[in-house]
Amino acid sequence: MNKLFSIGFWSAVARFILRNRTFILIAIAAATLALAFQWKNMRFTYTEANLLPDDHPINLEYNEFLKHFGEEGNLIVMGIRDSTLFTPEKFTAWTQLSKEINKFDEVELTLSLGNLKKLQKNPDTTGFELVPFITDSIFTKKNLAGYQDELFDNLPFYDGLIYSPDKKSVRSAIYLKKDIVNTAARRDFIINDLIPLIENFEERTGIEVHTSGMPYIRTLNSQNIIDEIGMFIGAALLVTSLIFFFFFRSWRATFISMCTVIIGVMWAFGILGLLHYEITVLTALIPPLIIVIGIPNCIFLINKYQQEIKQHGNQAKSLQRVITKVGNATLMTNLTTASGFATFILVKSQLLREFGIVASINIVAIFLLSLLIIPIVYSYMNVPKTKHLEHLNKTWINGFVNWIERMVKERRITIYISAVVLLCASIIGIYNIRVSGSLIEDMPKSADFFKDIRFFEKEYEGIMPLEIMVDTKRKKGVMTLPTLKRIDELQDHIKEIPEFAKPLSVVELVKYSKQAYYNNNPEYYQLPNSQERTFLLSYAKSSAGNTNLLSSYVDSTGQFARITTFMKDTETDRFERIEANLHDEIDKVFPPERYNVSVTGKALVFQKGTHYLVNNLILSLSLAIVLIALFMAWMFRSGKMILISLIPNLLPLIITAGLMGFLGVPIKPSTILVFSIAFGISVDDTIHFLAKYRQELMANDWKIKKSVYGALRETGVSMFYTSIVLFFGFSVFTISSFGGTVALGALVSATLLFAMLSNLLLLPSLLLSLERSIANKETMRKPALKIIPDNEEDEEER
């Protein structure tokens, strides 16, 4: 027999815990204090979640792009749609706003109506000069009307950049310094400086400003994550404590349990700091998860303690039995739950790996805290009074257990038919599941910044950056006329795709150069012909270095060109068709033997990251199933028992997947977690039930029916309690403003509810129908998971 789960070992553990109560409490306090000192190392993420491995081809292409052009996501845009803008008072205020923003150290430059430049041919040199678009210092309705007409009619270069294609709205561009984009300085500037300035402008002028851009979106999205951590922890504590008290009707039991999980939350934050991991949208879920998962440990331990007190009233004996009889099974349940999370460690995505590491460590930690704190604290207290044990005799819970028992006895065929019908319906639903790689789908729909995203999608056809990098394979190859024509041809194709905004590249500068050469006649906003190319390209080359706006669209060697466009939030299937079409066009326009062209950008990286996770979902879930099956094999030494135990836990996962298909909930990074989490937790009930079933088999001379019903009656109450706590505990996540977190909470709650019914109805039915052949053979072997019968433990105590 495995020594770890022998009677002697767990009895020794119980004696050690109870004899060293003070030392253990001091050790827990010291560990909590030490981990609290690690909180200073916690930091919130300032970058988007990169779901791909570092060596993935998409990541390598993106890093190659960053090497040549630097951080792409440094643009913040402010847009307004107001017919009274071109009036002296409001135009002055709008211009002043941009000037004030431009003064901040974090800002590289601003581009707005007030500081627009226009190209002008320099008669003295071979080149152009940038001159102010606005030349008046005092604004009147007349001169502003003239500027408005000139902007909309004579400056096509700024179409889609400063003014919208329908010429009804304008915007300002704020380019942050690239070295602060992924740092805390970005957040401080946006939260403490930019937003107050914009709010002050809105209050003074009555004009609504729509603000967006990746740095802005990322900052406010991260701030929402920070704000929700406290809300989740508070809500999880409130909900679980209320349910706990409703079941136990004991302030003392509730207080002890809450203190235990609060210490677990403190440890969770400490471990995040100790490992120097960032707090992301996933790791932010861990503290409330610890509360939700830790409370069932408390329920099993306290429920067993009170059952023992009710049975014989001996406190020392009761505490010993709590540790020896519940400790080993609870360890296994926590290990299986941790295994569900630990499978993410094997995925190459750093985001999921960190989540898996921290979650699995903390689940084991909350088990240890529960096993140590609850028996020790109760050992210092008086024996529970009769009123504290009344919940054990509640008629309604006994009625529920009796109903379960009747269903298993009399309606086993009905249970099987229902399971098959649900299985078939769920398989149909699974075929309707779609995959979503949207960068903004999980963002809070009610947030102002999300509404602003929709504004820019409507007015400017997109806000999510998509980059195309053209490698001409030779230095200074970009500014040749054939290459410029190819870039222009590709841009024309991009303009025809409704999901994409007008692209921007060095081609626009060359076109503008031709227009400027011909005295700013907008009819000449086009690439030069073969007769014009020599002198116009020399003009463009000489002026490109002085044009801050577009100098970043050609690298320093002149070999690499960059085409930037912005895309609307697009469904994955549609995006894949667009991407395939774009690659076909690229291959047609740019011969591969002469050019290397890559499509990249944050929007694409995120889309590909979602697909990577979906492809790894089956692997991750399969690993969880195999790992837990190995636990079952080791604990029960029975191949058929593995099958019997897995069926009731796989069925709820299939039902949940079917619900996702019917309800239109897509597979995305947040909902991918549902299956491994729910499977790891739902197996806990199976282990508790089978552990008690084994004990009943040994106590009842291997009589199957008596053992099944005995296990059902004893574990049914605790399984019901824990499932209800888990259901409402995970439901806490539905108060989130993040769509993915809401879906995660609702789906895990639903899955665990199905799992409870499956373990209480289907599992006993399968045991009664299939176990007879096992009971005479395989169950005669002593399982590794030793559940200690009362008589054996009494001997040990003596």
CB burial of 61-89 (b: ≥16 within 10 Å; e: otherwise) equals bbebbeebbeebbbbbbbbbbbeebbeee
Nearest to 213 by CA among 190, 180, 238: 190
Whole-angstrom CA distances from 27 to 19, 30, 212, 322, 373 are 14, 5, 50, 22, 11
Q: What is the mean pLDDT of residues 333-349?
A: 78
> Nearest-5° angle of CA 560, CA 566, CA 571?
120
Quick: pLDDT tens for 187-230. 889 989 999 999 999 999 889 999 988 888 878 877 777 777 77
Q: Higher model confidence: residue 665 or residue 174?
A: 174
> For 3-47+219-431+606-797, which CATH superfamily applies?
Multidrug efflux transporter AcrB transmembrane domain (1.20.1640.10)
pLDDT of residue 232: 79
Identify any residues that bridge with 769 across adjacent strands, giving them in sequence order: none
Phi-psi region of 601 (alpha: psi -120 to 50; beta: other; left: phi over 0): left
| 273 contacts 343 by C-beta, under 8 angstroms | no
Least-confidence region, from 238-252, 414-428, 634-648? 634-648
Asked if the model's pLDDT at residue 36 lies above 80, the reply is yes
pLDDT of residue 636: 65
Asked if the model's pLDDT at residue 4 lies above 70, the reply is no
Q: Higher model confidence: residue 194 or residue 672?
A: 194
Asked if the model's pLDDT at residue 445 lies above 60, the reply is yes
| 331 contacts 765 by C-beta, under 8 angstroms | no
Quick: pLDDT tens for 490-539. 999 998 988 888 898 888 888 888 888 888 888 888 888 877 776 666 65
- Start and end residues for every CATH 1.20.1640.10 domain found in the chain: 3-47+219-431+606-797
Going 547 to 551 to 553 to 558, the CA torsion angle's sign is: positive
What single DSSP character describes residue 183? S
- How does the average pLDDT of the chain come out, rounded? 80
SS3 127: coil
Q: What is the mean pLDDT of residues 25-42?
A: 90
Nearest to 283 by CA among 357, 345, 227: 357
Asked if the model's pLDDT at residue 391 lies above 90, the reply is no
Nearest to 702 by CA among 774, 784, 775, 785: 775
pLDDT of residue 541: 56
Asked if the model's pLDDT at residue 544 lies above 50, the reply is no
Nearest to 375 by CA among 13, 780, 778, 738: 13
Q: Higher model confidence: residue 702 or residue 764?
A: 764
Nearest to 174 by CA among 238, 110, 232: 110
Whole-number Å distance between alpha carbons of 48 and 519 = 45
CB-count exposure of residue 247 (10 Å: 0-12, 13-18, 19+): buried
Work out the percent of the chain whose per-residue pLDDT is above 90: 13
pLDDT band at 646, cuts 50/70/90?
confident
Whole-number Å distance between alpha carbons of 162 and 148 = 12
Q: What is the mean pLDDT of residues 703-719?
A: 79
Q: Higher model confidence: residue 580 or residue 625?
A: 580
pLDDT band at 424, cuts 50/70/90?
very high
Strand order in the sheet with 75-80: 107-111, 170-176, 75-80, 210-212
| 680 contacts 341 by C-beta, under 8 angstroms | yes
pLDDT band at 794, cuts 50/70/90?
very low
| 260 contacts 298 by C-beta, under 8 angstroms | yes
Least-confidence region, from 286-290, 575-579, 671-675? 671-675
pLDDT band at 773, cuts 50/70/90?
low
Nearest to 113 by CA among 75, 86, 76: 86
pLDDT of residue 793: 43
Quick: pLDDT tens for 313-335. 787 788 888 888 777 777 877 88
Quick: pLDDT tens for 127-162. 677 788 888 878 888 888 888 888 888 888 888 888
pLDDT band at 798, cuts 50/70/90?
very low
What ranges in 275-314 are assigned the alpha helix state H?
286-312
pLDDT of residue 619: 72
pLDDT band at 546, cuts 50/70/90?
very low
Least-confidence region, from 395-404, 537-546, 594-603? 537-546
Pairing of strands 128-132, 117-121: antiparallel
Least-confidence region, from 25-39, 145-159, 452-466, 683-697? 683-697
| 608 contacts 735 by C-beta, under 8 angstroms | no
Q: Which of 63-77, 347-361, 582-596 has the highest mean pLDDT?
A: 582-596
pLDDT band at 777, cuts 50/70/90?
very low
Asked if the model's pLDDT at residue 662 lies above 80, the reply is yes
